[in-house]
Amino acid sequence: MTNFTSPAIEARDLRKQFAGGAAVEDVSFPVSSGRVVGLLGPNGAGKTTTIRMLLGLVAPDSGTALIHGNPYAELTDPLSVVGAVLDAGGLHPGRSGRQHLRVAAAQARVGAGRVDKVLAEVDLTAAADRPISGYSLGMRQRIAIATALLGAPRILVLDEPANGLDPAGMRWLRQRIRAFADGGGAVLLSSHVLSDVSQIADDIVIMQAGRVVADLPLADALDANDGDLERFYLELTGAGSAVR
């Protein structure tokens, strides 16, 4: 049963160890409806592993990953609850954007009528019948986001959605994410680029070496650091030790 009194997303004491060591340790944070939470941290900090646990793609060694109070795997119609963009590289280049979305809609048992709606939502109607091989990176990101929106979810989970976007693409993404959250949606997005997140997020969760080292409203982080978020971030994550 979907429990709307629980946070839209909640990581509780998540831990995951790989052969190389602990990737995620004691990670807890909520994402509430109406909020955009930026999951920040240098390469290898554990952001993707955390996101994959929240989406039921990686089993935690301990802890719980909850969507409205339930593990993702127990959602009866997960694609109508959570839309995820993990990697915009997995698109079939020979298909058009519309064909890709039709296949995804059929797989997700979503009515084909949603395809035109999500194409319009990501401003890709005009390019919908061109092959994806001719799409720019920004257009591929839009198709990935459109795919995530097919089930009309109220939660979006976006892993590095800004990767490779130009300033216009970034502005578009910011506006879409803001509108989604202002409409009551919950958004978790990860990035290793502070400036990407600082222009979108309401709250920031900073990870370093598998652990959460800060979890606070963005405005509080700015107030406490004379507006110098970069200094705060680098102090917490260790300047110059970005890659593990």
Ligand X SMILES: Nc1ncnc2c1ncn2[C@@H]1O[C@H](COP(=O)(O)OP(=O)(O)OP(=O)(O)O)[C@@H](O)[C@H]1O
Per-residue mark of binding to ligand X, 169-198 (x: CB under 6 A): -----------------------x------
Residue 46 sits in the site that holds ligand X (CB under 6 A): yes
CA atoms within 13 A on the CB side of 234: 7
Contact segment (CB under 6 A) with ligand X among 47-55, 90-98, 139-147, 179-187 equals 47-55
Interface residue with ligand X among 2, 3, 43, 241 (CB under 6 A) is: 43
Which of 7, 30, 38, 41: binder of ligand X (CB under 6 A)? 41
Could you say whether residue 151 binds ligand X (CB under 6 A)?
Answer: no
Considering only 29, 36, 37, 49, the residue that binds ligand X (CB under 6 A) is 49
Give long-range contacts, CB 8 A cutoff, 24+ apart: 98-103.
98/128, 98/129, 100/132, 100/143, 100/147, 101/143, 101/146, 101/147, 101/150
Q: Which residues of 35-63 are buried (b: 16+ CB within 10 A; e: fewer)?
A: bbbbbbbbebbbbbbbbbbbbbebebeeb
Nearer to ligand X, 29 or 118 (CB): 29
CA 237 to chain centre: 21
Q: Is 73 helix (H, G, I), strand (E, B) or coil?
A: helix
Q: Quick check: helix, strand or coil at residue 15?
A: strand
Sheet holding 203-208, edge to edge: 82-85, 155-159, 186-191, 36-40, 203-208, 211-217
Distance, in Å, from the CA atom of 137 to the CA atom of 145, rounded to the nearest integer, reads 12
Q: Residue 18 and residue 48: Cα distance in Å, rounded? A: 13
- Candidates 7, 30, 38, 44; binder of ligand X (CB under 6 A) is 44
Our CB check for ligand X shows the closer of 50 and 70 to be 50
> Residue 191 CB, nearest distance to ligand X (Å)?
8
What do you get for the CA distance between the two ends of the chain, in Å? 40
Q: Which is nearer to ligand X, 41 or 153 (CB)?
A: 41
Site for ligand X (CB under 6 A): how many residues?
14
Using CB under 6 A as the binding rule, whether residue 4 contacts ligand X is answered as: no
The answer to whether residue 47 forms part of the interface with ligand X (CB under 6 A) is yes
Of the pair 23, 149, the CB lying nearest ligand X is at 23
- Judged by CB under 6 A, does residue 23 bind ligand X? yes
Report the distance separating Cα 202 and Cα 187, nearest Å. 10
Near ligand X by CB under 6 A: residue from 3, 4, 13, 18: 18
Q: Which is nearer to ligand X, 163 or 225 (CB)?
A: 163
Q: Does the footprint of ligand X cover residue 241 (CB under 6 A)?
A: no
CA 185 – CA 45 distance, rounded (Å): 26
Residues at the site binding ligand X, with contacts judged by CB under 6 A: 18-20, 23, 41, 43-49, 192, 244
